[in-house]
Each structure stands twice: as structure tokens, then as C-alpha cells.
Amino acid sequence: MKLSEENAELRAVHIQYVNTRWKQLYEMVAGTSKDAITYLMVTNSGGAIAVLSFMGAMKSINPIPGALCMLASFVTGVVLIGFGRGVVYYRAYWLFSGWRSGVTKYYADTIEWGELVDEDNKRSRYFIWADIIAWLSFFCFLTGLAIGFVSTL
């Protein structure tokens, strides 16, 4: 049913839901995956810095076998996290924009409540790309560690 056809009690419940969902999506845009992103960025950056420091302390360009591969792995992990951060942000912003557009249509009486919620549910389905990018970054970190471990044997 359209907003103008709802009784005051139902309208109040729907408006409360709208405000709650807006807050949820806004917070998601503002803080999406912050802890995981920070962890992956710090670990890969730390690995890259450690390899560079070790290489700088040595006389040769290739102080241990695989040092350049370790560095490349850690740097790739950092780049992936940067890319992943952008993907996650734009996904969250797309969700927020879709919700805002739907609410505007609902308030203008051009769609009904059920349609607003259905469209939001369709947009909010699982988004695997952010997880894939994060796991690839973590894989880069593990690869860099493995190369370093094998190189010291």
C-alpha cells in the first residue's frame, strides 16, 4: 500500500524502519570492513617493509633467494587491499543510493511499501567480490611468508 493510504500507526512503523535502514546503510558506507582491511594492509605493508629493510642491509641486490618474490607478494597484497577497499566502498554506496532512491519514490507515492523492501532485498544479496579480493590479499601474505620460510632453509 502507498504511504498516503497507510494509517498513522503503520506509517510511523514504516518511517521508523526507513530511518533504521538508512542509519544501517550509512554506517556500512562509513565503516565497511575496516578491521579486516586494516589488518591486511598492515600485515602486507609490514612484510614489504621487512623485506626492503633486509635487502637494504645486505650488500647484494638479492640477499636471500626469493626476496624479490616475497616483496612482490606483499606489495601485491597491499595493492589488492586498496582495490578491494574501493570495491567495498562503491558497493556500500550503491546500496545506500538505491535505498535513498526507493524511499524517495515511496514518499512520493509512486511505489508501495512492499516494493520498496523487495527492491532493497534484491540489492542486498551476498556480494562475493569483496571476499575474493580480501582472501587473495591474505593469500599474498601467506605466499610471502612461505617464500621467506623456504628461502631460509
pLDDT value at position 88?
84
Helices (H), the chain: 8-31, 34-57, 67-107, 113-123, 128-151
Contacts of residue 23, Cβ cutoff 8 Å, sequence gap at least 6: none
Q: Which range (49-53, 128-132, 148-152) has the least confidence?
A: 49-53
Question: To which H or E segment does residue 127 belong?
Answer: none
For the entire predicted model, the pTM comes to 0.67
pLDDT value at position 116?
92
Q: Which tens digits make up the pLDDT trace of 24-66?
A: 887 876 676 676 677 777 887 887 887 777 766 666 655 677 8
Residue 101 has pLDDT above 90, yes or no: yes
Q: Looking at this protein, which amino acid is placed at residue 128?
A: I
Report how far apart the first and last C-alpha atoms of the chain are (Å, whole number).
70
pLDDT value at position 142?
92
Percent of the chain exceeding pLDDT 90 equals: 27
pLDDT value at position 145?
87
Residue 117 has pLDDT above 80, yes or no: yes
Q: Which tens digits make up the pLDDT trace of 71-97?
A: 899 889 888 988 888 888 888 889 989
Mean pLDDT estimate for the chain = 84
